[in-house]
Every structure is written in C-alpha cells, then in structure tokens.
C-alpha cells in the first residue's frame, strides 16, 4: 500500500431546511437546536476535532448565517464576560472556539441532495481524503465514531463507512451494507443497498452518517444523474467509486441519536441530561413521575 494521505478535513452538510421541526426552524437552523447545552452541530465538530481533524468545512444554505456566527468570536459577549469576571463562562466559550483559519463556509445554492452538498465542498477539500459527518446524527461514545474510522483508515486506506446494527425487521428503513471479509479492525464492504425490501437486506448493518471518502468522489458527483427524490444521491456515487476503490466498514458500538427526528432529538436530550451530575437527579425523578402517571392513566 502506498503512503496514505492523512485525513485532515471534515465536511458538514448543514443546508437542510429542517421542516420536521417547524415552526422552531423557521428562523433557527435545525443544526443550532440544542441538545442539553450545545447545538447539534457542535457535537459533530467536537467528534471530528477529537479524531484529529484540523479544517472544518460547512456547506450551508439560506438563513444559516447563525452557524457561522456560532463558530466566530463574539467580541461583545467576550468583553461583557471579562468585565463581569465570568471566568467559567469564558473558559467554556474558549473550549469550543476554532482557531483562525480552521473553518470554511460554502453555499449550496439549491436543495439538490446530499451528493450535491458534498460536491459543493470540492474546492475547499482539494485532492485529499476527507471525513463527512451528517450533523443530525449525534453519536455518544467515549472514543468517538470518527476516531475509530480514522484508526481503520490508517490500516487500510481506501474509503470508510461507519455502520451500526439494527433489528432485521427495521433494515428496510435504512441504507444497508453487504459485509465481506474481516480486515484489520473492520471489514470489507462488498455492496450497498438503499432501503432494501423487507426480508432482502444483505446484513443488519446500516450506514449511520459518518464517512471517509477519497477525492475521486467529486468527479463522480459532478457527473451523477439525479436519483431518488430527483436529487444527487451520495450512495449512487459511492457505488460507482466502489468499482475502482475499496470500501471498508467500521462498526460503531456507542449510542446514536437521529436529531433530525423529534423522537431522536428528545432521546438525545434525556441521555445527555442523565449524564450531567448537576441535573441527573432532578431529571430522573421527573421522568419516573411522568412515566408512572401516564402508565397508570392507560
């Protein structure tokens, strides 16, 4: 295997409209809705930073300027906190503040699908492998899903897809991979099927929204014809790329919350609240009370 190019950059598609959360997302991007005390997008960025990512590329859309503001320095707020000697708040903000030059923003001017959003980042990524993180998927794990993927990439090269186990009867709801031989800490991906018909899934491992892709994907996306929903589908381009490059699977064993859905968003808030020692007792007490009262009323 030739010398690997290090994965230094990560792409975050944040141009979606968030219609499932209207009216909340009429003025506030869905990526800025908070799970406990951090916006959803911050969890994905933290995961990428923990994995050693150095450059964070956001593919935005209209009315998403607040995302750029979130990762910028707020001079007025900083000045006020300093004058009031709010050392803890200042430390919290600095912990999540990217360094100058670490963030880039580009615009997806029309909602043409995930594949098109990824293609919009081509000039910022350049001729390098890159991580792709779908911010709706908040992943709770000590090591981090992207860290595990980069560990596998450093052993195999190629392209990496993060997967998770799901109940067989639910496989028709997801993109599912076909599992090949074990390779290093992962396995070879020998096929990908988008929402297979019930009973036909090649495995119960679904694609969970984390990827490491080689830059050749951009040329394929540029030529990719619209697929499902008349959008440029990333999966279609990956299937084409798989004809000439290897794909490997990483099994993520932590907890994943789909914060693009109301139920997943609520579950994420509960899970992180129960991990916060400052509010765990109060939240747990209320949960017990609410569950019991509703159970008795059935």
**pLDDT tens digits, residue range 201-210?**
999 999 999 9
Q: In this model, does residue 248 exceed pLDDT 70?
A: yes
> Tell me: the pLDDT tens digits for 160-201?
999 999 999 999 888 899 999 999 989 999 998 888 888 899
Task: For 113-160, write each residue's pLDDT tens digit.
Answer: 899 999 999 999 999 999 999 999 999 999 999 999 999 999 999 999
- pLDDT value of position 298: 56
279 and 241 in one domain? no
The answer on 277 and 172 residing in a single domain is no
- Please tell me the pTM assigned to this model: 0.92
Residue corresponding to tokens 């975050």: 12
Number of domains into which the chain is organized: 2
Q: Does residue 4 lie within any of the structural domains?
A: no
Does residue 18 or residue 234 have the better pLDDT?
234
Q: Assess if residue 214 is contained within a domain.
A: yes
The band of 64, judged by pLDDT with boundaries at 50, 70 and 90, is confident
- In whole numbers, what is the pLDDT of the chain averaged over residues? 91
Please indicate, yes or no, whether residues 247 and 284 belong to a single structural domain of this protein.
Answer: no
Asked if the structure places residue 3 within a domain, the reply is no
Q: Give bridge partners of residue 165 from the DSSP assignment.
A: 205
Q: Residues 140, 283: one domain?
A: no
23: preceding bond cis by omega (within 30 degrees): yes
Whether residue 212 sits in one domain with residue 176: yes
Q: What is the pLDDT of residue 125?
A: 97
130 and 275 assigned to the same domain: no
- Asked if residue 267 has pLDDT above 80, the reply is yes
pLDDT reading at 98 higher than 90:
no
Count other C-beta atoms under 10 Å from residue 200's C-beta.
10
Residue 228 has pLDDT above 90, yes or no: no
Q: Residues 245-264: what's their mean pLDDT?
A: 95
The answer to whether residues 241 and 159 touch, using CB atoms and an 8 Å cutoff, is yes
Cβ proximity of 260 and 30 under 8 Å: yes
| List of residues 6+ apart from 259 with CB closer than 8 A | 30, 33, 35, 40, 135, 136, 137, 138, 265, 268
Is 278 found in the same domain as 145?
Answer: no
Domain shared by 173 and 279, yes or no: no
Write out the two tokens for 54.
């150095």
- For residue 216, give its domain range: 9-260
Residue 2 has pLDDT above 70, yes or no: no
H/E segment holding residue 191: strand 186-194
Domain match, 279 and 182 both: no
| Residue 99, Ramachandran bin (φ over 0: left; ψ between -120 and 50: alpha; else beta) | beta
pLDDT at 227 over 80: no
**Cβ contacts of 275 within 8 Å, gap of 6 or more:** none
> pLDDT value at position 297?
66
CB atoms within 10 A of CB 264: 16
Dihedrals φ, ψ of 204, to 5°? -110, 30
Query: Residue 109's pLDDT is what?
Result: 87
Q: Are residues 217 and 294 in the same domain?
A: no
Q: How many angstroms separate the most distant Cα atoms in the chain?
A: 65
Whether residue 105 lies inside any domain: the answer is yes
Could you tell me if residue 233 is inside a domain?
yes
Are 241 and 288 found together in one domain? no
Name every residue whose Cβ is closer than 8 Å to that of residue 290 and which is 6 or more positions away in sequence. none
1 domain residue, yes or no: no
What backbone torsions phi and psi does residue 210 show, to the nearest 5 degrees? -130, 135
Contact 231, 113 (CB under 8 A): yes
Residues 135/14, Cβ–Cβ less than 8 Å:
yes
């Amino acid at each position: 295997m030739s010398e690997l190019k290090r994965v230094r950059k990560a792409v975050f598609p944040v141009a979606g409209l968030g219609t499932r959360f209207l009216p909340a997302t009429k003025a506030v991007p869905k990526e800025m809705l908070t799970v406990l005390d951090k916006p959803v997008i911050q969890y994905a960025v933290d995961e990428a930073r923990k994995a050693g990512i150095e450059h964070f590329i956001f593919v935005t859309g209209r009315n998403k300027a607040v995302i750029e503001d979130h990762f910028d320095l707020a001079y007025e707020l900083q000045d006020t906190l300093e004058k009031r000697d709010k050392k803890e708040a200042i430390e919290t903000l600095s912990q999540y503040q990217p360094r100058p030059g670490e963030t880039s923003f580009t615009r997806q001017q029309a909602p043409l699908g995930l594949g098109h959003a990824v293609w919009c980042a081509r000039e910022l990524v350049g001729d390098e492998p890159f991580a792709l993180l779908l911010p709706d998927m908040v992943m709770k794990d000590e090591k981090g899903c992207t860290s595990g993927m980069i560990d596998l990439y450093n052993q195999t090269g190629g392209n990496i897809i993060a997967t998770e186990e799901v109940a067989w009867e639910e496989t028709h709801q997801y993109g599912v991979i076909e599992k090949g031989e074990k390779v290093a800490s992962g396995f070879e991906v020998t096929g990908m099927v988008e929402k297979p018909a019930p009973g036909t899934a090649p495995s119960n491992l679904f694609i969970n929204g984390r990827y490491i892709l080689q830059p050749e994907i951009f040329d394929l996306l540029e030529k990719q014809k619209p697929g499902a929903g008349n959008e440029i589908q990333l999966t279609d381009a990956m299937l084409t790329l798989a004809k000439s490059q290897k794909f490997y699977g990483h099994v993520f064993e932590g907890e994943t919350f789909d914060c693009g859905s109301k139920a997943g968003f609520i579950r994420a808030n509960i899970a992180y609240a129960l991990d916060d020692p400052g509010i765990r007792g109060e939240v747990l007490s209320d949960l017990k009370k609410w569950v019991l009262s509703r159970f008795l009323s059935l």
